[in-house]
Chain A
Amino acid sequence: MAKVLVFIDNPGASLKKSSLELLTLARSLGGSTVALNGDLSDGVAATLAEYGVGNILRPSAQDLDDFLVAPKAAYVAAAAEASGAGIVLLDNSPEGKEIAARVGIRLNAGVITDVVAVDGDGTAHKSVLAGSYSTACKATTPVSVLTLKANNVIPEPAPAPTTPETATVDVPAVAAAARITAREQKVASGRPDLTDARIVVAGGRGMDGDFGPVEELADALGAAVGASRAATDAGWISHDAQVGQTGKTVSPQLYISAGISGAIQQKAGMQTSQVIVAVNKDAESPVFEIADFGIIGDVFDVLPQAAAEIKKRKG
């Protein structure tokens, strides 16, 4: 079994679901060490023990967050060497992938992104070309660096908790890195995170500037709100909500597409959803070619009616 290093960046007071998924996968592949950046709160320490983490590594430097990824990558690579890891696991966020990219060069290790499952021998599974192929890939190097897509592992604590030991890793100096000179925090919506939501309701040009019905249906279902590029470009909703080739890739159990035609770049981001529902006035919309349940109708009639019916049934 391989030694696995999991990188967790600034968890705050508790671990995100995607981090729990990384820890669960790591345990199934071998013993896990966590390379943590940021504060180690009591809550996080307790969860790491619950998830069977053997060791917790922390960086010697405090200013990793002031630069774009280079020093974090240097730290993760040093932590991988210190722990003798054969597999380095990171989340599949843009930043996770960039750190993975640089760790790969530092360790002469193959990097595989968008991983959905890993076999015991390190073979990673991912889908490519907008979900049209399922592939099995493998690093041909002694160490492999994998970034895991959220929602593909069910988080599960270890059969018995551990008492992790903590050690410090020296962060090697980095030649040149971009400095972050200002950071504006975004307001949290209170809705589930788009990338790991179980249900997504997304609106497009057909919402005509009014995302109210999309939000209402999303809230009735406990869903995240998404949007097509047309809707975000029009300024009807924040760019963070964009689903598609240059936005977020989602693979929820249920994806409801409202007033979206289904251009190829939009479909690319939702193709792997389990069930797709489409509501659109235009019967010719390409989205109907892939919908499990399609409604040719007005979003301003169908969405509110569905939201009201759900509330009624849920009591």
Chain B
Amino acid sequence: MKIVVLVKHVPDAQFDRHLNGAGNTVDRDESILSELDEYALEAALQLAEARGGSKAGNQVIALSMGPSGAVNAVKKALQMGATEGVHVTDDALAGSDAAATSLALAAAVRHLGGVDLVLTGMASTDGETSLVPAQLAERLGLPQVTFASTLEVDGGRLTARRDADTSSETVEAPLPAVVSVTDQINEPRYPNFKGIIAAKRKSITTLSLADIGVDPAQVGFAGSWTSVASAEQRPPRTAGTIITDEGDAGIKLVDFLAAQKLL
């Protein structure tokens, strides 16, 4: 099987994150592999391993689109066990919205050719729009399964389960397909020493827009269909009153709610 896993390079959510520049884009210094993409990668590795791994010709290709630093997301994926990496990078990509991102990623998937499955996280941890997987499927004309909490592949078909608000669903689709997975699907592995050493020998292909046949005018600030006109940092929440329970904190809580007119 040839599986492409999309891995996004995002600012670490443990620290303060910022928008900056004229286009109010996310500041990507201090970025990491989006933690939700680790679940997609683990799902890919499990599917490949169940079929005899790379020795049996299974490929798990980690694909990222982004500035030079985004190659670190690809490297982490290689350390976890992806067989090869692809980094789409081009100055013209800066400022891409979900539509432009999905355009470039779809072109990269087509460029790789013969892909059976595209796996993604349920959302990036920065943009958090969850638009990319569905847009990628629409652009590639493939079936989409989003928010999969289980995934099985048998021959040319996949079966997944997903949770909606009022029901749980079982879905089936023929391959090739685009699947986004939730953090319920598995427990991602940590890269071990062997994996870190092995990753150094794996190849990372760098692709420009010309390589994947995308016109620079279709991506980046120029080609995006949305733009952020203004952004205002909200004052961080500050701590209010803190009391220690002396046997009547429940009553004091109700007093507080009454004073706030919340009862």
The answer on A and B forming one complex is yes
Number of residues on chain A facing chain B (CB within 8 A): 93
Find chain B residues with CB under 8 A from A307 CB: 250
Cβ-closest chain A residue relative to B240: A292
Find chain A residues with CB under 8 A from B257 CB: 254, 277, 310
**A185 to nearest B CB, angstroms?**
5
Find chain A residues with CB under 8 A from B123 CB: 246
**B162 to nearest A CB, angstroms?**
8
Find chain A residues with CB under 8 A from B245 CB: 295-298, 301-302
Instruction: Give the contacting residue for A310; candidates B102, B160, B254; CB below 8 A.
Output: B254
Find chain B residues with CB under 8 A from A193 CB: 165
Given A264-B14, A296-B242, A305-B249, is A253 in contact with B262 using a C-beta cutoff of 8 Å? yes
Instruction: Give the contacting residue for A137; candidates B228, B238, B239, B240; CB below 8 A.
Output: B228
- For the complex, give the distance between the alpha carbons of A297 and B249 in Å: 8
Q: Is the CB of B144 within 8 A of A138?
A: no
The CB with the most chain B CB atoms within 10 A, among A129, A186, A275, A310, is that of A129
Find chain A residues with CB under 8 A from B147 CB: 94
**B119 to nearest A CB, angstroms?**
14
Q: Does A113 contact B (CB under 8 A)?
A: yes
Q: Does A98 contact B (CB under 8 A)?
A: yes
Q: Is the CB of A313 within 8 A of B263?
A: yes
Q: Does A46 contact B (CB under 8 A)?
A: no
**A66 to nearest B CB, angstroms?**
10
Q: Does B243 contact A (CB under 8 A)?
A: yes
Instruction: Give the contacting residue for B251; candidates A106, A265, A305; CB below 8 A.
Output: A305
Which residues of chain A from 170 to 185 have any CB-CB distance to chain B below 8 Å in the complex?
Answer: 175-185
Find chain B residues with CB under 8 A from A144 CB: 226
Q: Does B112 contact A (CB under 8 A)?
A: no
Q: Is the CB of A309 within 8 A of B254?
A: yes
- For the complex, give the distance between the alpha carbons of A303 and B254 in Å: 10
Among the 9-residue stretches B81-89, B177-185, B195-203, B206-214, the one with 4 or more Cβ atoms under 8 Å from chain A is B177-185
- For the complex, give the distance between the alpha carbons of A129 and B234 in Å: 11
- For the complex, give the distance between the alpha carbons of A295 and B254 in Å: 12
Q: Does B146 contact A (CB under 8 A)?
A: yes
Q: Does A60 contact B (CB under 8 A)?
A: no
- For the complex, give the distance between the alpha carbons of A65 and B262 in Å: 40
Q: Is the CB of A246 within 8 A of B168?
A: no
Instruction: Give the contacting residue for B225; candidates A68, A104, A301; CB below 8 A.
Output: A104
Cβ-closest chain A residue relative to B125: A245
Q: Does B224 contact A (CB under 8 A)?
A: yes
Find chain B residues with CB under 8 A from A254 CB: 257, 260, 262
Q: Is the CB of A123 within 8 A of B240?
A: no
Pairs A–B under 8 Å by Cβ, sample size 24: A94-B146, A108-B225, A111-B98, A114-B129, A135-B232, A136-B229, A137-B228, A141-B225, A178-B172, A178-B177, A181-B172, A186-B167, A221-B263, A293-B240, A293-B242, A294-B240, A295-B243, A296-B242, A298-B245, A301-B249, A302-B253, A304-B250, A306-B253, A310-B254
Q: Is the CB of A109 within 8 A of B225?
A: yes
Cβ-closest chain B residue relative to A99: B134
Q: Is the CB of B173 within 8 A of A293?
A: no
Contacts A128-B128, A129-B19 given; 11 further ones with Cβ under 8 A? A68-B171, A98-B133, A98-B134, A113-B130, A130-B13, A181-B171, A184-B167, A271-B237, A277-B253, A301-B245, A304-B250
Q: Is the CB of B225 within 8 A of A313?
A: no
**B127 to nearest A CB, angstroms?**
8
Q: Is the CB of A69 within 8 A of B251?
A: no
Instruction: Give the contacting residue for B99; candidates A110, A133, A134; CB below 8 A.
Output: A110
